[in-house]
Amino acid sequence: MLNTSLASKIGELTAELTTAYQTSKTFEDENLELLEQLKAIKQEASRPVTLESLEENFYRKKFEECSQQLEQMENKWTEEKNNFAAFKKKTSASMKELRAELSGYRRTAPHSGDQGPCLAPRGSSDPSMSSRSRASSITSDDRVTSNSREEEVSSAAGEEAKRQEEQRKLARRTEKCEFLEEHVRQCLEELQKKTKIIQHFALREEASLLMPSEGSLDKLFATCEFVQVPIVRKSSAYALMGAMFTGGEKKQTQILTEVNSRLQAVLEDVIQKNICMRSSVDTLTADNTRLSRENRLLSLSQVRTQDQ
């Protein structure tokens, strides 16, 4: 009995040990992934952030968004154009049918109008027909003629109203297609402008940081009357700094204000990224500590199981 209970307990402990080993292996894999992510974040944090790279990323995102919008508008415009072509064909067929029916009604109108006068002489040629029968036949013929004319007029008016409605629909579709064409043209112009801006920044890949490579601005102002910014491959000066050193006092103040605002924006972005990375590092450190503690507990439980 005791051996049976011990065997069952050993089986349970073995199963728990296997599960714990698998959990430990999973935690180790997650720990390695987190360490790789932490290393990638540290490498990204150590990269120098320049104004050109920020502007290039910004305009690249804008270019991708404009490209997606342009593609959607082109698809929509193509769909509307196909619908307009189908509607135009349908309208043309309806117009042909209406014209054919209208011409048929116009052809039958004179025959129905001449029917009354033809019947009147026929009745008058019969000597046995009385004046009452002639009057009734003339009245019935006039009534039939007037009814047929009213029907023709009403049918012609209905066909004309239908034709006008089709023309109004066609005009609305035409206006809609013209609006879509104008919108697509504006999107293309905006996309061309963004492309020119991105090409402009791509051609300036040789430019480096805004600041000169030797010393700070205060040191350069204190030591040099006319500052010559060094031009080196892959580290040439920014055109804004050259304009600052060669322009007047008012121009220098404006340029310094612009440079200060840009540097402040870059600094705020870097601080925000550092805060996000710091929180990510803290989270990864806490996870690493927790995984190490659980690994130690699993190792101790494994040693105790082996001792028993």
- pLDDT tens digits for range 65-75: 888 888 888 88
Confidence class of residue 283 from pLDDT cuts 50, 70 and 90? confident
pLDDT at 124: 43
- Taking only the tens place, the pLDDT of each residue in 100-141 is 887 777 777 655 544 444 444 444 444 444 455 555 555 555
Q: Where are the domains of the chain?
A: 2-49+210-307, 53-203
- Pick the more confident residue, 249 or 35: 35
Angle at 101 between CA 96 and CA 106, to 5 degrees: 125
What's the full length of the chain, in residues? Answer: 308
User: The dihedral of CA 36, 38, 42, 45: what is its sign?
Assistant: positive
Q: Are 267 and 35 in contact (CB under 8 A)?
A: no
Mean pLDDT of 216-223: 53
pLDDT at 226: 42
In the DSSP assignment, the letter for residue 258 is: H
d(CA 164, CA 171): 10
Nearest to 229 by CA among 218, 213, 216: 213
Is 80's pLDDT higher than 80?
A: yes
pLDDT at 278: 77
d(CA 77, CA 187): 12
Residues above pLDDT 90, as percent of the chain: 0
Lowest mean pLDDT among 193-202, 253-262, 266-275: 193-202
d(CA 83, CA 164): 20
Lowest mean pLDDT among 78-87, 88-97, 120-129, 201-210: 120-129
DSSP string, 116-137: HHHHHHHHHH-TT--HHHHHHH
d(CA 6, CA 12): 10
User: Is 238 buried (19+), middle (13-18) or exposed (0-12) by CB count in 10 A?
Assistant: buried
- Taking only the tens place, the pLDDT of each residue in 15-37 is 888 888 888 888 889 989 998 98
Q: Are 116 and 138 in contact (CB under 8 A)?
A: yes
Burial 258-287 (b: 16+ CB within 10 A, else e): ebeeeeeebeeeeeeeeeeeeeeeeebeee
Mean pLDDT of 77-103: 83
CATH architecture group of domain 53-203: Orthogonal Bundle (1.10)
